[in-house]
A and B are shown apart, each in its own frame.
Chain A
Amino acid sequence: MSGERILSVDQLTMRFGGIVAVQDLSFAADRRKITALIGPNGAGKTTVFNCITGFYKPTGGAIRLTHDDGKEIALERLNDFRIAKQAKVARTFQNIRLFPGMTVLENLMVAQHNMLMRASGFTFLGLIGAPNYRSAEAQAIDLATDWLKRVSLLDRADDAAGNLAYGDQRRLEIARAMCTGPALLCLDEPAAGLNARESAALSELLLSIRNDLGTSILLIEHDMSVVMEISDHIVVMDHGVKIAQGTPREVRDDPKVIAAYLGADEEEAMAVMESGS
Chain B
Amino acid sequence: MTALSHEITQTSRAAGIPFILKRAFFNALVALVLFSLMVGVRTEAGPDGQLTYWPRFVELASLVGIVFGGSVVIELLRQWIGPSGAERLVPPALHSGLSFLGRYLAPALLIFTLLVPVIFYDQRYILDLAILVLTYVMLGWGLNVVVGLAGLLDLGYVAFYAVGAYSYALLATNFGWSFWICLPLAGILAAFWGVLLGFPVLRLRGDYLAIVTLAFGEIIRLVLINWQSLTGGPNGVPGIPRPTLFGIPLTNTDDGLAALLGIEFSPTHRIVFLFYLILALALLTNWVTIRLRRLPIGRAWEALREDEVACRALGINTTTTKLTAFATGAMFGGFAGAFFATRQGFISPESFTFQESALVLAIVVLGGMGSQLGVALAALTMIGGFELFRGLETYRMLVFGWAMVLIMIWRPRGLIGHRAPTVYLKKSQAISSDLVKEGHG
Contacts and interface: CB of A to CB of B under 8 A. Distances in A.
A103 B312 contact: no
A158 B424 contact: yes
Nearest to A80: B312
Contacts of B318: 80-81
Interface string A58-77: 00000000000000000000
A123 B321 CA distance: 12
Nearest to B313: A91
Nearest to A116: B296
Interface stretch (B5-13, B219-227, B429-437): B429-437
B423 interface: yes
B299 A106 contact: yes
Nearest to B436: A101
Contact of A105 (B306, B316, B423, B432): B423
A27 interface: no
A181 B432 CA distance: 31
B85 interface: no
Interface string A136-166: 0100010001000000001001111011000
A109 interface: yes
B374 to A, nearest CB: 15
A202 interface: no
Contact of A106 (B292, B297, B422, B427): B422
B431 A102 contact: yes
Contact of B421 (A85, A103, A112): A103
Interface string B403-441: 000000000000000010111111111011001110000
Interface string A86-128: 0000110100011111110110011111101100100100110
Contacts of A177: 313-314
A85 B437 CA distance: 25
B429 to A, nearest CB: 5
B38 interface: no
A81 to B, nearest CB: 5
A47 B305 CA distance: 26
Given A159-B429, A162-B435, A103 B310 contact: no
Interface of B: 288, 291-292, 295-297, 299-300, 302-303, 305-307, 309-318, 324, 419, 421-429, 431-432, 435-437
Interface of A: 53-55, 80-85, 90-91, 93, 97-103, 105-106, 109-114, 116-117, 120, 123, 126-127, 133, 137, 141, 145, 154, 157-160, 162-163, 176-177, 180
18 contacts: A80-B312, A84-B314, A85-B315, A85-B317, A93-B310, A97-B313, A99-B306, A100-B435, A102-B421, A102-B431, A103-B421, A112-B296, A113-B315, A114-B316, A126-B296, A137-B423, A157-B425, A158-B424
**Closest 8 interchain pairs by CB?**
A84-B315, A101-B436, A85-B315, A99-B306, A162-B435, A116-B296, A97-B310, A157-B425
